[in-house]
Amino acid sequence: MAVEHWDEARDGPLSEAAMRRKLEARGYVVHTYVYPPGTVFPEHTHAVDKIDGVLSGRFRLVLEGEAVVLEAGDCIAVPAGAVHSAEVVGAEPVVSLDAVRRA
């Protein structure tokens, strides 16, 4: 599982607008969500390719049995059909960009 970390030298300062532009340029439709502490998403799949990006907070993602904690500036690709779960870690809400591949 490959986590893409924000590269300020290449991408500039991390902001919602900058991460949105980066994901949209890759052909994704992007929505912003805020998940409060304690939020848990049980195992599920999606019919489309997605990228989850984190702007703030900590988000534990388990993808096909492998776990990673995403932090500010991290993005991870979730392929269509991949079994995954997620949860907010800690007391800070997670601000996430949910990017879905354009049809």
The pLDDT, as a whole number, for residue 102 is 86
> What are the sequence ranges of the domains in the chain?
3-101
The pLDDT, as a whole number, for residue 55 is 98
What would be the CATH architecture of the domain defined by 3-101? Sandwich (2.60)
Along the 103 residues of the chain, how does pLDDT read in single tens digits?
A: 799 999 999 999 999 999 999 999 999 999 999 999 999 999 999 999 999 999 999 999 999 899 999 999 999 999 999 999 999 999 999 999 999 998 7
HEC profile for the chain?
CCEEECCHHHHCCCCHHHHHHHHHHCCEEEEEEEECCCCEEEEECCCCCEEEEEEECEEEEEECCEEEEECCCEEEEECCCCCEEEEEECCCCEEEEEEEECC
The pLDDT, as a whole number, for residue 75 is 97
The pLDDT, as a whole number, for residue 43 is 96
The pLDDT, as a whole number, for residue 77 is 96
What's the whole-model pTM score?
A: 0.93
